[in-house]
Chain A
Amino acid sequence: DAKTTQPNSMESNEEEPVHLPCNHSTISGTDYIHWYRQLPSQGPEYVIHGLTSNVNNRMASLAIAEDRKSSTLILHRATLRDAAVYYCILKMRAQKLVFGQGTRLTINP
């Protein structure tokens, strides 16, 4: 399973943008980059995924480096409800999700 590296924790302020980095230098051509988050006392929740191009949805944006060896999840305007553990996962279609330790994001009011 291809590995990802994320900071253990990050802190930001409410209503400010948050950039969560992820390094994946051993990514293969068929690996999709997935982001899930887990709010306290809940199951993980899908956030966004991409293959090569940057992606936007109602929750976040995903910026993928040109060489695909790193990516950044962008929360445009953090709220207190965005406090969670964020997991960056490389996954081929039909394969299992392999979770690492993730980044624990704290949002200050």
Chain B
Amino acid sequence: DAGVTQSPTHLIKTRGQQVTLRCSPKSGHDTVSWYQQALGQGPQFIFQYYEEEERQRGNFPDRFSGHQFPNYSSELNVNALLLGDSALYLCASSLAYFRAISTDTQYFGPGTRLTVL
């Protein structure tokens, strides 16, 4: 049973460019969340997608946008990259809370390391 997969593993971009990161959820999961983790910090919630709609959003600017496809996979797009966007981007999948047996445990992928020069 494949877990959460993310691509690419590493990415180097320059300031002002745009980037797209991809995530495939764990088999059977329908909800995808994205997190940003700066070096030495805990992950910060960006947003969550369910039924192809953004359901929750953290304190991130509109430069961060996402999409969820009918097969539940998801993309994170970041426009006009800044040096401060350099981080590990984590995708987590879960079952919608009303489907989960007890609570919506999240399963994380290995992340995409984005470096902005």
Interface residue ranges, A against B (CB under 8 Å)? 32, 34, 41-46, 49, 85, 87, 91, 93-102
Contact = CB atoms under 8 A, between A and B. Distances in A.
A96 B58 contact: yes
A99 B58 contact: no
Interface string B91-117: 010001110101111111111000000
A96 B90 contact: no
A87 B90 CA distance: 16
Given A49-B105, A93-B104, A100-B42, A43 B90 contact: yes
Contact of B90 (A44, A85, A101): A44
Contacts of A96: 33, 45, 48, 56, 58
Contact of A99 (B42, B98, B102): B42
B48 A43 contact: no
Contacts of A49: 102-103, 105
B42 A101 contact: yes
Contacts of A34: 103, 105
